[in-house]
Structure 1
């Protein structure tokens, strides 16, 4: 009966990813082309026996939506970030970057991302008071009762969406390109916002690939950790590169419950193929008409404040370079991950040259 347990784990992760897929639609990303990423990643995991799957990730979507003003800028940010990550994956420099900067500075950046997500959640709630406010209220209550992110996102999204549909007769008219079942080439552009956004997305993915990838690997119980970070980084980069050229949404490393399934590789592949089917048959687009973008506000707030921030902030502020890590955290929260990591790197190596302690 292992296959049934694998399937249930896969379905759970798909349910977790659907609201974030709806978030991708609210940012103008085309959904149909994104199935390329899921099919490609499932093939790679099958060939190499990789346990870490890819899916929609709230952090990368929120960051891309914040830094890109329109669809072309957002897909250009994804393309640029994927080029950077491909170089990092191919050359095997992912862990070297962390070794140079230090775990606490990387953790400071991730903790800053947690605050950034909370700020985005509150902004969504201000724009759509009923859906956003109710989503946050439900998410807080459900998480306090269950400590379970899947229940938190499912109940808060469904509850706030039902309130918007029946209370405000909400029904969104999504742009044609978002739900169209076709591939349309989107030419990348280069400007200051795109370059900064690509660097920020790459910085976020460096931290996410290491932390989320290794956590999924730890869930398998196998030693040593079965996650190949260079393979994960290269897979994610190529998937995003192809999808972004077609106007699709980014898919990144996630903490996946499939890691705890009896056959984690099979469960991860099942999850990605199921998500590809959801996109291919247009089911996500149909759901998206009745789900306000602010319905994910509660999940973003809990993810940022209760999940990402505490553990990473504790790591960041513990031990050497605590002050630099704290500055990295604040700059990331105020600006973006690239500015945060850049400030941390400069302070770590420049202050000792000036005879100043960190």
Structure 2
């Protein structure tokens, strides 16, 4: 069974946090800084490396181009950008990191149909990589997307917090003039839209102006998180239905804060039952199992301490399938969630 994870900040972890993702998870956890209380509080204990992903074949991951704004309200650390030029340079450094991992055989870039089919046919023994830009500030101007498309980028989310392109999490607002120009070029090139992190206003504006493929790589259900902080980080039922109507997919993130509104900060307070609840809610809205999948965001500013009790590392993701089995789910529907839904959608964007 193919396993697809639609959101991993691999290059950010390697470059900004200095993690050697070419080693095993156990090796990475032995790094002295990984064991300090300060590090654990800010980044968490490592769960994901390239050899770890390679333990499951076939698999595909969406590796993000994620760069940190200097003014960001976050516990994330590392190099941050304050100008468009700095953002541009940091984004390309991450792209070059991914290219190096492909050149050395850890990943297989998926930027066309034959590359995707090679993974599906098990003709590739290494995980597939689909490039996803999270926050568009790495583009100094919208027309730089042309060069990024040529380099393999196939999916883009204009926002994280606010960017020069759109309102985002914790920063309400519409698409900017640049954002509207960017959406127009995305549609022309065939670059898909990631709705994750878009502010409410920019989300609905984007759906009105963008007619290309749209999904949410890592966005959980607002209606199951009533009372939680940062409500604008989650998708309302209306937003979920709008994505479903466009034949999109929603990836479930595994951060405990995004799974349980009353999370007490401990690992064991959240279990796979909370993950299943998110999955089943989207299925209820859709009337089928074709619009929900995984977008774990593992090591995206949180580590093993802040993910469900049963999950210790990336290779544990198939346990979500076992949890669905225990709920009585048929095998084909479980396969949809673990990978087939993303595969179907990827056919539209590469």
Query: Does the pair score TM above 0.5?
Result: no
Is the radius of gyration larger for structure 1 or structure 2? 1
More helix by share: 1
More relative contact order, 1 or 2 (CA 8 Å, 6+ apart): 1
* Structure with the higher fraction of residues in strand conformation: 2
